[in-house]
């Protein structure tokens, strides 16, 4: 079976298996690791570097994907934007370039893992939803013990140290959890 000119691998390569494991640990880390610096280091070493081996596969998979190409165009524009000033500073440019590369590579590896392991990736998302739900409940209990409700905005546990990312992450996984809940047989009509 071929998709976008790429043969589907039933078991994936050793590199994709390793990256699936490290990718999963990285995602779980948002809720389980309390130090964002450690999580960033883990991503840089255990996810990002092995991902480089899969770059050709990722580009093959997404080379004709309009959304991905629009993201690349947008990030390129934003990156070049840093050069449109009277005083061009290369250090901020390279910092932003690294972040853009991290984001694009994360998108590529997500696509590869979803393509190579559709059932396992779906199970991974369901497990993350479960962990996010438990973390959200724990966050509410911990946070509102010392802060008034509803005056203070919730800050999550793990590396979610700001109310805005906490709301975005918990909100995203709440919507994803609703999708999985509605997809179960219990909710389907006959």
The whole-number mean pLDDT for each consecutive block of 10 residues of the chain, a chain of 190 residues, reads 44 82 89 82 88 88 92 91 78 86 90 92 93 86 77 72 79 91 71
pLDDT of residue 21: 92
pLDDT of residue 129: 92
Q: How far apart are CA 139 and CA 135, in angstroms?
A: 6
Task: Tell me how far apart the alpha carbons of residues 90 and 96 are, in angstroms, rounded to a whole number.
Answer: 10
Size of the chain in residues: 190
Q: What are phi and psi of 3, to 5 degrees?
A: -135, 125
The whole-angstrom separation of Cα 110 and Cα 20 is: 9
**Would you say 50 and 74 are in contact if contact means Cβ atoms under 8 Å apart?**
no
pTM of the model as a whole? 0.77
Predicted pLDDT of residue 92? 80
Instruction: Classify burial at 23, counting beta carbons within 10 Å of its beta carbon; exposed 0-12, middle 13-18, buried 19 or more.
Output: buried
In 10 A of CB 52, how many CB atoms?
12
Quote the pLDDT of residue 34: 78
Q: What is the C-alpha to C-alpha distance for residues 128 and 143, in angstroms, rounded to an integer? A: 21
CB 159 within 8 A of CB 39: yes
């Amino acid at each position: 079976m071929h998709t976008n000119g790429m043969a589907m691998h039933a078991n994936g390569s050793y590199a994709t298996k390793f990256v699936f494991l490290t990718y999963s640990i990285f995602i779980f880390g948002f809720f389980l690791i309390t130090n964002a610096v450690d999580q960033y280091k883990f991503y840089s070493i255990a996810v990002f570097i092995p991902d480089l081996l899969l770059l050709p596969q990722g580009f093959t998979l997404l080379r004709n994907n309009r959304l991905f190409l629009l993201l690349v165009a947008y990030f390129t524009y934003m990156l070049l934007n840093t050069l449109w000033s009277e005083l061009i500073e290369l250090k901020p440019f390279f910092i932003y370039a690294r972040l853009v590369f991290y984001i694009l590579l994360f998108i590529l590896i997500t696509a590869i893992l979803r393509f190579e392991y559709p059932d396992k990736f779906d199970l991974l998302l369901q497990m993350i939803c479960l962990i996010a739900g438990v973390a959200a409940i724990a966050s509410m209990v911990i946070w509102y013990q010392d802060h008034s409700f509803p005056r203070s905005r919730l800050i999550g546990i793990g590396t979610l140290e700001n109310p805005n990312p906490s709301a975005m992450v918990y909100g995203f996984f709440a919507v994803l959890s609703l999708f999985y809940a509605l997809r179960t047989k219990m909710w389907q009509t006959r």
